[in-house]
């Protein structure tokens, strides 16, 4: 398993929260930023899939749910790695 950059994961979790708190940003816009600036991968279809910084998550409920799922998955990875 490739080592995860815990500092980057923490920064990205915070970045997503801050961008979503900005009422001028849509969840789709936040994902666009992550794709363009952070190198995220996005697949859209029957389900949405976001790959970013070694963490992949899916959601069928849309972009906002996808971002929240990614943040939760990243937090779990941070907790696992810090606890090792």
Please give the structure tokens belonging to residue 23: 């009422």
Q: Is residue 27 part of a domain?
A: yes
- pLDDT of 13 over the 90 cut: yes
Number of domains in the chain: 1
Query: What pLDDT, on a 0 to 100 scale, did the predictor assign at position 54?
Result: 96
Q: Is residue 1 part of a domain?
A: no
For the stretch 22-54, what's the b/e string if a residue is b when 16 or more beta carbons lie within 10 angstroms of its beta carbon?
A: eeeeebeebbeebeeeeebebeeeeebebebbe
Over the stretch 14-72, which tens digit does the pLDDT of each residue have?
999 999 999 999 999 999 999 999 999 999 999 999 999 999 999 999 999 999 999 99
- Confidence class of residue 1 from pLDDT cuts 50, 70 and 90? low
Sorted by sequence, the CB contacts under 8 Å of residue 33 that are 6+ apart come out as 19
Structural domain containing residue 40: 6-82
- To the question of pTM greater than 0.85 for the whole model, the response is yes
Query: What pLDDT, on a 0 to 100 scale, did the predictor assign at position 74?
Result: 98
Three-state DSSP state, 54: coil
């Amino acid at each position: 398993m490739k080592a995860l950059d815990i500092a980057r994961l923490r920064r990205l979790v915070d970045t997503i929260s801050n961008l979503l708190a900005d009422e001028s940003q849509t969840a789709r816009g936040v994902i666009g930023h992550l794709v363009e600036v952070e190198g995220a991968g996005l697949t859209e279809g029957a389900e949405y899939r976001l790959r970013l910084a070694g963490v992949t998550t899916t959601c069928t409920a849309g972009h906002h749910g996808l971002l929240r799922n990614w943040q939760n998955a990243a937090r779990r990875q941070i907790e696992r790695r810090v606890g090792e």
